[in-house]
Amino acid sequence: MTRTVLTTEHAPSPPAPLSQGIRKGPVLQVSGQLPYEPGTGEIVGTTVAEQTTRALSNVTAVLEAGGASSGDVVMLRVYLTDPAHLAEMNAAYAAAVGEPYPARTTVYTPLPPGVLVEVDALAVLDD
């Protein structure tokens, strides 16, 4: 099986030595997406809801670059800087992702200055 590096101008370029995503066969892994505006690299929003929406838009762009859609996602991982943001993130997440929801893990961790949320995804496509 060929391993394909995914790149798209519709998601921010990684500021570290990593790919936006990788697809191998029917499996597509999207690297953690921060709430950066593609093209400018600026953080979008000051609330966790705004940042969650942008990070999920970036995830979607990488999924699409790999021939996938949100319906192919089996797992999303959300990284928050503050447990107090969980309810607000959940509301924005539910609106953006919609039912049926994929499996999800939420972790609390430090992120770059001004960033409140990061999201990565695992998708499995029908080949």
What is the per-residue pLDDT for 127?
67
Query: Taking the CB of residue 87, how many other CB atoms lie within 10 A of it?
Result: 9
pLDDT digits (tens, 9 = 90+) for 50-95: 999 999 999 999 999 999 999 999 999 999 999 999 999 999 999 9
pLDDT at 106 over 70: yes
What CATH number is given to the structural domain containing 101?
3.30.1330.40
Q: What is the DSSP letter of 108?
A: E
Closest CA to 27 of 50, 49, 2: 2
Torsion over CA: 107, 112, 118, 124 (sign): negative
Counted domains in the chain: 1
Per-residue confidence (pLDDT) for residue 14, from 0 to 100: 86
Q: What whole-number distance in Å separates Cα of residue 40 and Cα of residue 15?
A: 12
Take residue 9 and report the two structure tokens written for it.
């101008």
Counting residues of the chain whose pLDDT is more than 90, the rounded percentage is: 94
Provide the domain limits for residue 32. Answer: 3-124
Q: Which residues pair with 5 in a beta bridge?
A: 22
